[in-house]
């Protein structure tokens, strides 16, 4: 059974710490997986327009019989709708797909604006690069529109961001005076970001860890498969995924593991408290094997933009 831990956002909204992720779930699998997750006891579901499966999430919720009021639904504004005039329409599309009249948390998915239009991911004629909207007014203006929607409508109960660095967070907070409730970031033992972690803590921004097992679309090794994590798991009588979920939760972060396998959906939800010694052992391994798995400049099609200032992005223009 889950420990049932709940975290409170800086606006007072309470959200279960262990959520269910839907990224990288193949079409036809999400509906059953969400229904199973809700049956097991998950009450925090993470979604996004770009995942292309929000209709299935809605059907899984319907099949589960769990009332909408008992579920915390998180979704995200996609990159082709960063211009303020497009933000609320993007949100309305998500609400229709999820068959709900509100989201519990709405995030800016990336601090990266794509060319506006009907295509979610517009590309250059050769298909090798995504088209960036260099004329967009900026993430502060996008954030200001989320703030307006939050204050003036009943469509979202909380707002936040995803994949934002300290620099990006400073931009939107300084421009609006409004602090995000959440920053969803890649987070696992091989990507420990103490400065960002501390900044978010000081500002009252709760972190959500995506890819807590090291899953990625760039073919990099997963921390889940490391011998060191497996050794800790065997010693504790746990699955490696459970250890990594506990590693995230130990820091007071939300964690959203994804699986479409019923047995793993259940074991991922069966969380436990990691001892300090085990936490530090995993940290030591992670620091020695540091890797950021999700770097847009390494995607295919490539995003020709510098988001995280990694070596792979140095030839690209900074996002802002």
> Which positions are catalytic?
51
CA 85 to chain centre: 24
Query: Which residue shows structure tokens 């200032």?
Result: 309
Which of 26, 54, 25, 57 is CA-nearest to residue 42? 57
Q: What are phi and psi of 211, to 5 degrees?
A: 50, 45
The helix (H) or strand (E) run that includes residue 92 is helix 84-98
Contacts of 203 (CB under 8 A, 6+ apart): 169, 173, 179
Neighbour tally for 166: CB within 10 Å: 15
């Amino acid at each position: 059974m889950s420990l049932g831990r709940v975290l409170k956002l800086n606006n007072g909204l309470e959200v279960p710490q262990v959520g269910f992720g839907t990224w990288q779930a193949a079409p036809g699998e999400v509906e059953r997986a969400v229904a199973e997750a809700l049956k097991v006891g998950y009450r925090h579901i993470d979604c996004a327009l770009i995942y292309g499966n929000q209709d299935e999430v809605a059907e899984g919720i319907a099949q589960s019989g769990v009332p909408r009021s008992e579920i915390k639904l998180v979704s995200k504004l996609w990159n082709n709708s960063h211009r303020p005039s497009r933000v609320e329409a993007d949100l309305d599309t998500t609400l229709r797909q999820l068959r709900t009249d509100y989201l519990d948390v709405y995030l800016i998915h990336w601090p990266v604006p794509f060319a506006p239009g009907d295509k979610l991911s517009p590309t250059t004629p050769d298909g090798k690069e995504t088209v960036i909207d260099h004329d967009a007014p900026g993430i502060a203006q996008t954030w200001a529109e989320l703030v307006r929607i939050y204050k003036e409508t009943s469509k979202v109960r909380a707002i936040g961001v995803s994949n934002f660095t300290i620099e990006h967070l400073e931009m939107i907070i300084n421009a609006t005076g409004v602090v995000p409730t959440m920053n969803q970031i890649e987070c696992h033992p091989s990507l420990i970001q103490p400065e960002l972690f501390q900044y978010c803590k000081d500002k009252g921004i709760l972190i959500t860890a995506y890819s807590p097992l090291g899953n990625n679309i760039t073919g990099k090794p997963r921390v889940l498969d490391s011998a060191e994590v497996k050794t800790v798991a065997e010693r504790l009588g746990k699955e490696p995924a459970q250890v990594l979920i506990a590693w995230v939760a130990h820091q007071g972060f939300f964690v959203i593991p994804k699986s479409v396998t019923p047995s793993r959906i259940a074991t991922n939800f069966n969380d436990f408290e990691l001892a300090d010694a085990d936490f530090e052992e995993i940290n030591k391994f992670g620091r020695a094997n540091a890797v950021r798995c999700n770097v847009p400049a390494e995607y295919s099609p490539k995003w020709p933009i510098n988001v995280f200032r990694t070596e792979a992005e140095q030839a690209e223009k900074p996002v802002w």
